[in-house]
Amino acid sequence: MKAPPAQEPATIGVSVESDSAPVPVTEEQLFLDALRKASIVPEDMLQGLLERAHHRGIEHQLLLEGVLTDVQIARLKAQINGWRFIDLQNTPVDFALLKMLPRSIAEAQRLVPFDLKENIVKIACLHPDRLQILRLIVKKSGFDVQPYLATEAAILTALSHYDHNLEQASKTILERHAVTVRDKTDDHSIIELVETMLLHAARQNASDIHIEPWQDECVVRERVDGILHRNLTFPKDVHNHVVARIKVLSNLAIDEHSAPQDGKLLFVTPEGQRIDVRVSTTPTTHGEKVVLRLLVSQGNAIPLESLGIVGEAQKIVEAEHRRAWGMILVTGPTGSGKTTTQYALMRRMNREDVNIATIEDPVEYDLPGVNQIQVNEKAGITFATGLRSIVRQDPNIILVGEIRDIETADIAINAAMTGHLVLSTIHTNDAATAIPRLLDMKVEPFIISSTVNLIIAQRLVRKICMRCRQSLAIEKMENRELVTELLGERIKNKKDVHLYHGKGCEVCHHTGYMGRLGIFEVMKIDDTIRGMIMKHANASEIRDAAVRNGMITMADDGLEKVLQGITTIEEVIRVIRS
Strand 371-374 and strand 261-268: pairing? unpaired
CATH number at residue 389: 3.40.50.300
Separation in Å, CA 392 to CA 41, 110, 398, 420 = 64, 46, 11, 12
CATH number at residue 105: 3.30.300.160
Whole-angstrom Cα distance, residue 311 to residue 305? 11
DSSP for 1-67, written as a single string = -PPPPSPPPPPB-TT--SPPPPPPTTHHHHHHHHHHHHT-S-HHHHHHHHHHHGGG-HHHHHHHTTS
Q: Are residues 390 and 533 in the same domain?
A: yes
In a domain, 500, yes or no: no
Whole-angstrom Cα distance, residue 416 to residue 412? 6
Q: Are residues 275 and 395 in the same domain?
A: no
Give the pLDDT confidence score for residue 141 in this predicted structure. 76
Q: Are residues 403 and 320 in the same domain?
A: yes
What does each of the 578 residues of the chain score in pLDDT, given as a tens digit?
Answer: 443 444 455 555 544 444 555 544 467 788 888 888 887 787 877 887 887 776 667 887 787 666 788 888 899 999 888 999 998 877 878 777 877 787 777 877 888 988 888 888 899 999 888 777 777 777 777 888 899 999 988 888 787 766 655 567 777 787 787 777 766 666 688 888 999 899 888 878 889 999 999 988 999 999 988 889 888 888 888 899 999 999 999 999 999 999 999 998 999 877 677 888 999 999 999 999 999 999 876 545 566 767 888 888 988 998 888 888 999 999 999 889 898 899 889 888 888 899 999 998 888 777 888 999 988 888 889 988 999 999 999 999 999 989 988 988 989 998 999 889 999 999 999 999 999 999 999 899 999 999 999 999 999 999 998 778 888 888 777 777 788 878 877 777 776 777 888 888 877 878 899 888 999 999 999 999 999 999 999 999 999 999 999 999 999 999 989 988 889 999 999 998 76
Burial (CB count within 10 angstroms: exposed 0-12, middle 13-18, buried 19+), residue 303 = exposed
With a CB cutoff of 8 Å and minimum separation 6, the contacts of 270 are 102, 199
Q: Which residues pair with 116 in a beta bridge?
A: 121
Nearest residue to 267 (alpha-carbon basis) of 171, 196, 188, 167: 196
CA dihedral over 131, 134, 140, 145, signed as positive or negative? negative
Nearest residue to 301 (alpha-carbon basis) of 351, 341, 336: 341
Strand 421-426 and strand 452-464: pairing? unpaired
User: Which ranges of 379-454 does DSSP label H, i.e. alpha helix?
Assistant: 383-391, 406-417, 434-440, 445-451
Q: Are residues 144 and 172 in the same domain?
A: no
Q: Between vectors from CA 173 to CA 215 and to CA 284, what angle results, nearest 5°?
A: 25
In a domain, 503, yes or no: no
In a domain, 273, yes or no: yes
Whole-angstrom Cα distance, residue 200 to residue 161? 12
Q: Are residues 173 and 278 in the same domain?
A: yes
User: Which ranges of 250-369 does DSSP label H, i.e. alpha helix?
Assistant: 311-320, 338-349
Q: Are residues 323 and 280 in the same domain?
A: no
In a domain, 496, yes or no: no
Whole-angstrom Cα distance, residue 259 to residue 281? 8
Element counts in the chain: helices (H) and strands (E): 21, 19
In a domain, 438, yes or no: yes
Separation in Å, CA 92 to CA 70, 87, 260, 400, 500 = 19, 10, 51, 52, 30
On whether the CB atoms of residues 327 and 434 are closer than 8 A, the answer is: no
Q: Which of 156, 174, 198 is the last residue of a domain?
A: 156
Q: Which of 156, 174, 208 is the last residue of a domain?
A: 156
Write down the pTM of the prediction: 0.72
SS3 496: coil
Whole-angstrom Cα distance, residue 189 to residue 555? 49
Whole-angstrom Cα distance, residue 17 to residue 139? 13
With a CB cutoff of 8 Å and minimum separation 6, the contacts of 173 are 189, 192, 193, 196
In a domain, 42, yes or no: yes
Whole-angstrom Cα distance, residue 570 to residue 477? 12
Q: Which of 138, 156, 174 is the last residue of a domain?
A: 156
Nearest residue to 224 (alpha-carbon basis) of 242, 246, 200: 200
In a domain, 291, yes or no: yes
Give the pLDDT confidence score for residue 283 in this predicted structure. 96
459-473 CB burial, b ≥16 within 10 A, e <16: bbbbbbbbbbbeeee
Q: Are residues 150 and 169 in the same domain?
A: no
Q: Are residues 537 and 439 in the same domain?
A: yes
Q: Are residues 137 and 175 in the same domain?
A: no
3-state per-residue secondary structure call for 439-455: HHCCCCHHHHHHHEEEE
Whole-angstrom Cα distance, residue 32 to residue 437? 53
| Phi, psi (deg, nearest 5) at residue 212 | -115, 120
Length of the chain: 578
In a domain, 421, yes or no: yes
Q: Are residues 268 and 390 in the same domain?
A: no
> Total domain count for the chain?
3
Q: Are residues 316 and 278 in the same domain?
A: no
Nearest residue to 453 (alpha-carbon basis) of 501, 517, 523, 516: 523
CA dihedral over 306, 310, 315, 319, signed as positive or negative? negative
> CA gyration radius for the chain?
27
- Residue 541 sits in which domain range? 304-460+516-554
Side chain identity at 157, as an amino acid letter?
T
Long-range contacts of 471-477 (CB under 8 A, 24+ apart): 471/65, 471/66, 471/498, 471/499, 471/500, 471/565, 472/498, 472/499, 472/500, 472/501, 473/497, 473/498, 474/498, 474/499
Whole-angstrom Cα distance, residue 456 to residue 453? 10
Strand 371-374 and strand 356-360: pairing? parallel
Q: Are residues 258 and 177 in the same domain?
A: yes
CATH number at residue 192: 3.30.450.90
